[in-house]
């Protein structure tokens, strides 16, 4: 993309309404625009990051064997009357009446709808296990929308639903989700710690929340820092292997890690003092096993291998896709701006032309652009007439992990400069070597 033809409305001033750094930086970098309290347009740069996060979520869900689909944002109230949640959900539910006087709602989640789909089409244990998921906009009329996309009213969420014949099988589905979530966050350059959670209004008896540590997080968290060093790395996981998934879950859930809602001082005191940490965290996902809470009242029943009709065991599993954009920035920025992890960056690198209009510099930038594109990379080429200082400031603000700087002085020596946004370190190398280096860095991402 050439910046002169792009739409990147960066702001010079720091917007006064934004209280936390991710919100400020998203506004300044021209990623979002607020349209009403807690409701945002995703401008082109923000939209690119949202899409990259969404792609990682899809990829890891499908790797785990989960099946994508799409349910609507509007739902009939009658479905929620069946589960009893139409009245229970309260003021957070946006209720709508259509021209025929029928009650609808903008879905805050989809347990009822997926249970309806299941009961209409599945009748036998032979069709289980089954995990269906979608990524769709949700609406919750939060009393205090704030922190930009981190606590919106309209937000983008992945929600997956598991159907199994009994509790053992459902616990495997739960474990599979935990492992796939750990991989998902790791690919985004995040460490998200699973913490034991209350099951809340969704109900049930097994739940973990995934928290990214950040000072601005809304939850208070307590953990054994032995968990902070765990990574899956390149580990291959066989998602059909119950023992293997259970072992990974065991590894990640054995060290103490809880939010203020489930924190237990007495148990925490057993962790050696040097390893006891308390800080704040951002919830970026949650998994639940809730048994037959919806299948029983809604009649989602299957026949088992003895021919008996039994309610199906269910779980639901969410990832805050739009919240993650803010959470990643909270975890990865400096005083100059955002620092995107390579896994989610909106463009793979920037190209800064120090002397636009100089035929040598222009030709070298065009050649770099073509060579990077040919290698499957997407550069953002700053071909505007801005001063070099302003171009660097924009690059730092929008946070592309790599920048190639091209100017007549370097070209006279046959080199360009490759700079890491994270370390600030630069290296002079030939344009061909710079392309090669970036292709290596992004291989497999």
Residues of the shown chain interacting with Mg ion in the complex, contacts defined by CB under 5 A: 286
Contacts of 428-431 spanning 24+ positions with Cβ under 8 A: 431/364, 431/367, 431/368, 431/371, 431/404, 431/406
Shortest distance (Å) from residue 246 CB to ligand ATP: 23
Q: Which is nearer to ligand ATP, 290 or 402 (by Cβ)? A: 290
At closest approach, how far in Å is the CB of 151 from ligand ATP?
5
Which one of residues 193, 284, 349, 400 is an interface residue with ligand ATP (CB under 6 A)?
A: 284
Q: How far is the CB of 219 from ligand ATP (least distance, A)?
A: 8
Closest CA to 181 of 202, 203, 212, 205: 212
Q: In the window 90-129, what residues touch ligand ATP (CB under 6 A)?
A: 109
**For residues 70 and 412, which CB has a smaller minimum distance to ligand ATP in the complex?**
70
Per DSSP, the three-state class of 426 is strand
Shortest separation between residue 160's beta carbon and Mg ion, angstroms = 14
Q: Which of residues 288-327 bind ligand ATP (CB under 6 A)?
A: 318, 320, 322-323
In angstroms, give the least distance from the CB of 178 to ligand ATP. 14
Q: CA 117, CA 93: separation in Å to the nearest integer? A: 22
CB of 207 to Mg ion, least distance (A): 8
Residues paired with residue 309 on neighbouring β-strands, in sequence order = 303
What are the tokens at 13?
A: 């001033």
Token digits of residue 160:
């997956």
Tell me the DSSP string of 239-254: TT-HHHHHHHHHHHHS
Compute how many residues bind ligand ATP; rule: CB under 6 A: 15
86 SS3 class: helix
Q: Which does 176 bind (CB under 5 to 8 A by kind): Mg ion, ligand ATP, none?
A: none
CA distances to 126, 162, 249, 292, 301 from 295, in Å = 17, 12, 26, 5, 7
Nearest residue (CB) to Mg ion, 200 versus 424: 200
Which of Mg ion, ligand ATP, none does residue 346 bind to, with CB < 5 to 8 Å depending on kind?
none
User: Max CA-CA distance within the chain?
Assistant: 81
Stretch that binds ligand ATP, among 280-288, 302-310, 364-372, 427-435 (CB under 6 A): 280-288
CA distance 65 to 72: 23
Of residues 39 and 67, the one with the C-beta less far from ligand ATP: 39
d(CA 288, CA 199): 7
By beta-carbon proximity to ligand ATP, the closer residue of 316 and 394 is: 316
CA pair distance 245, 252, nearest whole angstrom? 11
Round the CA-based radius of gyration of the chain to a whole number and report it.
24
140 near ligand ATP, rule: CB under 6 A: yes
Residue 382 CB, shortest distance to ligand ATP, in Å, is 32
| 34: contact with ligand ATP by CB under 6 A | no
| 351 beta partners | 381, 404
Place of tokens 């109230």: 77
Stretch that binds ligand ATP, among 40-48, 281-289, 290-298, 416-424 (CB under 6 A): 281-289
| 410 backbone φψ class: left, alpha, beta (φ>0; ψ -120 to 50) | alpha
From the list Mg ion, ligand ATP, none, pick the one residue 140 interacts with, judged by a Cβ distance below 5 to 8 Å according to partner type: ligand ATP
Question: Of residues 362-401, which lie at the interface with ligand ATP (CB under 6 A)?
Answer: none
Residue nearest to ligand ATP (CB): 320
| Residue ranges binding ligand ATP (CB under 6 A) | 109, 140, 142, 151-152, 155, 157, 283-286, 318, 320, 322-323
């Amino acid at each position: 993309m050439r910046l002169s033809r792009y739409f990147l409305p960066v702001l010079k001033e720091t917007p006064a309404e934004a209280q936390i750094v991710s919100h400020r930086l998203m506004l300044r970098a021209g990623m979002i625009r607020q349209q009403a309290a807690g409701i945002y347009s995703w401008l082109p740069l923000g939209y690119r990051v949202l899409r990259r996060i969404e792609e990682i979520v899809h990829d890891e869900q499908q790797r785990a064997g989960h099946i994508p689909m799409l349910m609507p944002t509007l739902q009939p109230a009658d479905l929620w009357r069946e589960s009893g949640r139409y009245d229970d959900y309260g003021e957070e539910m946006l209720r709508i009446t259509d021209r025929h006087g029928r009650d609808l709602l903008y879905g805050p989640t989809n347990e009822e709808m997926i249970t309806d789909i299941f009961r209409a089409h599945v009748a036998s244990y032979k069709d289980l296990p089954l995990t269906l998921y979608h990524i769709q906009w949700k609406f919750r009329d939060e009393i205090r929308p704030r922190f930009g996309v981190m606590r919106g009213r309209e937000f983008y969420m992945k929600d997956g639903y598991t159907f199994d014949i009994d509790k053992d099988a459902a616990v495997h589905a739960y474990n599979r989700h935990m492992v796939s979530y750990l991989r998902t966050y790791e690919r985004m350059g995040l460490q998200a710690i699973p913490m034991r959670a209350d099951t809340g209004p969704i109900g049930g008896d097994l739940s973990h929340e995934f928290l990214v540590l950040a000072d601005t997080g809304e939850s208070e968290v307590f953990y054994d820092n032995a968990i902070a060093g765990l990574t899956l790395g390149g580990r291959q996981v066989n998602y059909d292997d119950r023992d293997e998934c259970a072992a990974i879950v065991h590894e990640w859930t054995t060290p103490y890690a809880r939010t203020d809602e489930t924190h237990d001082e007495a148990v925490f005191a057993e962790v050696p003092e040097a390893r006891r940490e308390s800080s704040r965290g951002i919830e970026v996902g949650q998994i639940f096993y809730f048994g037959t809470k919806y299948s029983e009242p809604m009649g989602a029943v299957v026949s088992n291998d003895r021919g008996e009709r039994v309610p199906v065991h269910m779980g639901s599993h969410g990832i805050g896709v739009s919240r993650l954009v803010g959470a990643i920035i909270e975890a990865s920025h400096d005083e100059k701006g955002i620092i995107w992890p390579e896994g989610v960056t909106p463009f793979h690198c920037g190209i800064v032309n120090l002397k636009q209009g100089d035929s040598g510099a222009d030709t070298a930038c065009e050649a770099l652009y073509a060579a990077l594109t040919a290698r499957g990379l997407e550069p953002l080429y700053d071909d505007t007439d801005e001063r070099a200082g302003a171009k660097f400031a924009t690059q730092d603000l929008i946070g592309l992990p790599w920048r190639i700087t091209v100017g007549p002085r370097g070209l006279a020596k046959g080199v360009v400069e490759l700079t890491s946004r994270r370390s600030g370190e630069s290296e002079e190398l030939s344009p061909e070597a710079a392309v090669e280096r970036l292709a290596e860095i992004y291989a497999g991402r």
